[in-house]
Structure 1
Amino acid sequence: MRIYKILNNNAVIIRNAQQQEQVVMGRGLGFQKRPGDFLDKACVEKIFSLQEPGLQALLSELLQRIPAEIITTSDHIICLARQKIPSLHERIYLTLVDHLHFAIERHRQGMAISNLMLWDIQQLYPCEYDIGLASLELIAQEMDCQLPIDEAGFIALHLANAQLTGDMKITNQISLLMQEVLQIVRLKMHIRLDENTLAFHRFVTHLKFLAQRLLSKNGLLPGDIALQEMVQQSCPQAWNCAKTISKHIETNGHEKLSDAEIMYLSLHINRLHDRQAI
Structure 2
Amino acid sequence: MEIRKILNNNVVVSNNEADQEIVVMGRGLAFKKKVGEEVDTSKIEKTFVLEKQGTADKLGQLLRDTPAVYLDISSKIMDYAQSLLPYKLDEYLYVALTDHLSFAISRHEQGIELKNQLLWEIRKYYKQEFQVALRALDIIKEETGITLGEDEAASIALHLVNSQLSSDNMASAVQVTEMVNNILNIVKYHFKMELDEDSVNYERFLTHLRFFAVRFVRKEKLEDSVDDFLFDQIRQKYEDAFEATRKVALYLERNYEWLISRDEQVYLTVHIHRVSQRQQIS
Identify unmatched segments of 5+ residues in structure 1.
Answer: none
Taking the aligned partners of 1:192 and 1:13, their CA distance within structure 2 comes to: 46
User: Which residue of the partner structure matches residue 19 of structure 2?
Assistant: 19
Q: Matched residue of 1:113: which SS?
A: coil
Residue 187 and residue 275 in structure 1: after superposition, are their counterparts in 2 closer, same or farther (change >3 A)? same
**8 A contact 2:13–2:56 mirrored in 1:** no
Structure 2: state its 5+ residue gaps: none
Greater shift in the superposed pair: 43-52 or 134-143: 43-52
Equivalent-residue separation in structure 2 for 1:132 and 1:170 (angstroms):
23
Shift, 1:116, TM fit: 2.5
CA shift in 2, pair 1:194/1:47, >3 Å: closer
Deviation at 1:175, TM superposition (A): 4.5
Which residue pairs with 2:119 in the alignment? 118
Segment of structure 1 superposing worse, 189-198 or 92-101 = 189-198
Match of 1:243 among 236, 242, 246: 246
Deviation for aligned residue 1:21: 2.5
TM-score (norm 1): 0.84
Q: What's the secondary structure of 1:23's corresponding residue? A: strand
Q: Structure 1, residues 81-124: CA drift from partner, whole Å, max 9, x if none?
A: 11222312222112111211222222223333232222232233
1:202 Cα shift?
1.4
Q: Is 2:231 the counterpart of 1:229?
A: no
Change (3 A) 1:165 1:12: closer
Identity across aligned pairs (percent)? 37
Deviations 1:133-159 (A, max 9, x none): 211110010122222332111111111
Q: Is the 8 A contact 2:137 2:148 kept in 1?
A: yes
Residue identity matched to 1:21: E
The aligned length equals 275
In 2, Cα distance between equivalents of 1:36 and 1:197: 50
Aligned to 1:145: 146
What residue identity is the alignment partner of 1:134?
A: R
Closer, same or farther: CA 218–28 of 1 in aligned 2, 3 Å: same
Q: How far has the Cα of 1:25 moved from its partner? A: 0.9
Say whether residues 1:97 and 2:98 are aligned partners. Answer: yes
CA RMSD of aligned residues (A): 2.9
CA contact (8 A) 1:221 1:261 kept: no
TM-score for the superposition, normalised by structure 2: 0.83
In the TM superposition, what whole-angstrom CA distance separates every residue of 1:133-192 from its partner, at most 9, and x where no partner exists? 211110010122222332111111111111114677765654443343234335656887
